[in-house]
Amino acid sequence: MQPWFFDDVTALWRVALMGVLGYASLVALLRVSGRRTLSKMNAFDLVVTVALGSILATVILDPGVTLLQGALAFGLLIAVQFLLTWSSVRWPWVRRLVTGEPALLMYRGNPLPEALRRARVTEDEMRAAVRAAGLASLDEVEAVVLETEGSLSVVRRRSNGEASSLEGVERPGDGTLP
């Protein structure tokens, strides 16, 4: 019959020690890798973060995995993420492949139903984003954009000829926005 709480005090000490050392090595590697590793996450960043957590759990709980093996796995994932982000800054096709493109959901106060369906965003969610931006009327909205990391950005209608943050964002069916 298995003991209820533990079967070996040494195993408990190993988990405690590996937890502290594994966590410390992960934090050290994340600090060395730069701020981008912990910034707002796109889908790729989320996968890497979950994988790092899984590796940490394995290092802590699996006596067959050494701290050095775990640190190597941490380093490998962080290096792959660094290479992808480095490449995405230099080559737009890599950025589109890894992060996707922002999606225009509303333009000049008018919801874009097909874009909303494709993005799986309801009009209620979009209106909530408009309210959160402090706007009382949809007429005040130049655009609502679903960003690549999943947040909704609300752009106020511009009152003069100032440059728009929407330059380069494509409007479904009509091409590039003015």
How do residues 84-121 score in pLDDT, each as one tens digit?
888 988 998 888 887 778 889 999 889 999 999 998 99
pLDDT at 172 over 70: no
Give the mean pLDDT of 128-140: 91
Residue 170, pLDDT above cutoff 70? no
What pLDDT shows up at residue 105?
A: 93
Residue 163 pLDDT: 55
Cα end-to-end distance, the chain, whole Å = 73
Tell the CATH topology of 101-176.
Answer: CRO Repressor (3.30.240)
Tokens 């590793």 found at:
37
Other beta carbons within 10 angstroms of residue 59's beta carbon come to 24
Alpha carbon separation from 122 to 49, 111, 112, 147, 159 (Å, rounded): 28, 10, 11, 15, 28
Give domain limits for the chain. 9-97, 101-176
- Most confident region among 2-11, 40-49, 140-149 by mean pLDDT: 140-149
Q: Which residue has the higher pLDDT, 148 or 135?
A: 135
Each residue of 18-77: pLDDT tens digit?
Answer: 989 988 888 888 777 765 555 566 677 778 888 989 999 999 999 999 999 999 999 999
Please give the pLDDT value at position 121.
Answer: 92
d(CA 156, CA 144): 9
Q: Is the dihedral of CA 42, 45, 51, 54 positive or negative?
A: negative
